[in-house]
Amino acid sequence: MNTIKTNHRGLLFVLKNISILLFVVIFVGFSLFSQRFSSIRNFENIILSATDVGIIAIGMTFVLLTGGIDLSVGAIMYITGAVLAIMLENGVSMAIGIPCAILSGTLWGCLNAFLISKVKIIPFMVTLGTLTAGRGLGLLITHSRHISVPDEMRFGATRIFNLIPIPIIIFALMVLLAVIILQYTSFGRQIYAMGNDPEAAKKAGLNTARLTALVYILSGFCAAIASIISISQVGSVSSSFGEGTEFQAIAASVMGGTSLFGGVGNVFPGTVVGILLIQMIQNGLIFLRVDLYLQEMVKALIILFAVFIDAQRTSLIRSLERRHIRVEKSPALARGREEVDIPA
């Protein structure tokens, strides 16, 4: 019985912490090929380059926990960036332009929320449609131009007390806020309950439509914040701005342990480790001088691997937990297993 329980616990530990284990293995692997890869400066660069997609992944985690998905976050980034770039180009101050740009991105999240929670269209179709429409709106606003922002907007390299770059601080604050919401508020507990069993959540009196709306609004807000951070680093907005970030955010959340089926996952360490893992792989490929086109293929493989791992991990964890509970509650069954040497 002890061997059965130990095997179950060991396998459950590996499955639940696979992202952390992968992070350690890949970090050590790249470090063996390049000493510069393991330097503190390079690790800071990895975190800094992960901040914008990491903030999007935080909002995506909230959505995935409810069993939904948001494919429109890249378009929301573009809409936010387009509004901000045009306003700054026309002489509007940053103090007015940034809040207005964030509001525009959040309102696009509100559109998703309305169509999904009120009109009852499935999230995949809604966000796929708003992804296309959002791209079109961004192109309309900018007339497909490449727009550079003023120097004062390029604060991405600015350090607080000459120590930590501003984007990393904002990312850390967003992570902290998400952790507090998910772990220490009734809203967070309701999100997990809804993701685990929507029908049971309804019967328990939870307003699932309201919860659904709020997570998509939150996702839009996070995408808007991420857009501001990205512009502060790259200094411009172009027609390709934000493209593909939705897939990186989904992959980061899933690789961090958030299930596509809802109800399972966390922002820290889960999503944070997931986005750092993806960025570390991209950074390592550059150090190894892998062909640029092959890097895009590696990104696609990462996403496929994340989805595959999620499907296998979720079913295995549930199966092992059921078997573990059965053994715990039935000592006679466990003794019978030992006597006839039935494998766990």
Residue 5's pLDDT is what? 56
Residue 319's pLDDT is what? 66
Those residues of the chain that have pLDDT short of 70 are 1-16, 303, 306-307, 309-344
Structure-token pair, residue 27: 């970090």
For 70-136, the DSSP string reads: ---HHHHHHHHHHHHHHHHHTT--HHHHHHHHHHHHHHHHHHHHHHHHTS---HHHHHHHHHHHHHH
Residue 334's pLDDT is what? 44
Strand boundaries in the chain, DSSP class E = 147-148, 159-160, 164-165, 236-237
Amino acid at 333: L
Residue 337's pLDDT is what? 42
Residue 336's pLDDT is what? 42
Structure-token pair, residue 235: 């200094």
2-146+182-340: which CATH number, 1.25.40, 1.10.3470, 1.10.10, 1.10.8? 1.10.3470
Q: Write down the domain spans for the chain.
A: 2-146+182-340
Residue 327's pLDDT is what? 47
pLDDT in tens, 20-31: 877 888 888 888
Residue 66's pLDDT is what? 93
Q: Cα separations (Å) of 313 from 173, 210, 304, 325?
A: 30, 30, 14, 18
Give the global pTM.
0.84
